[in-house]
Amino acid sequence: MFAETLFLLFERKKKLLTDHQFFILTLTARLTVSPSSSQIFKGDFVSLSCEEDDSSAGWTLRRNTNIGNTTQCGDGWGKLVNSSCNISYIIPSDSGVYWCESREGPISNMVNLTVTGGSVILQSPVLPVMEGDDVTLLCKTKTTPSNLPAAFYKDGSLIRKQLTGHMTIQHVSRSDEGLYKCDISGHGESPSSWITVTDEHTTTPPPTSTPPPGSTSITLPPSLSPPVLSVLSCVGSVCVVVLLVLLVLLVRRCVHRKREAEHEANMGSDVNTEITYVQISHRQQQNKGKLLLWLFFRSCWERENPARGVVPFQSGV
Q: What is the pLDDT of residues 91-104, one digit of tens each?
A: 999 999 999 888 77
Query: Is pLDDT at 61 greater than 70 in this prediction?
Result: yes
Q: What is the pLDDT of residues 30-43, one digit of tens each?
A: 888 999 899 999 99
Integer angstrom CA distances of residue 252 from 242, 261, 265, 291: 16, 14, 20, 59
Mean pLDDT, to the nearest integer, of 231-251?
A: 80
Could you give the CA distance from residue 179 to residue 83 in angstroms, rounded to a whole number? Answer: 32
The alpha helices in the chain, defined as continuous H runs, are 2-19, 226-304
What confidence tier does 225 reach under pLDDT thresholds 50, 70, 90? very low
Question: Within its chain, how far is the Cα of 97 from the centroid?
Answer: 23
User: Across the chain, how many H-helices and E-strands are there?
Assistant: 2, 19
What confidence tier does 83 reach under pLDDT thresholds 50, 70, 90? confident
Which residue type, as a one-letter code, is found at position 147? N
Q: At what angle do helices 226-304 and 2-19 cross, to 10 degrees?
A: 60
Query: Is pLDDT at 260 greater than 70 in this prediction?
Result: yes
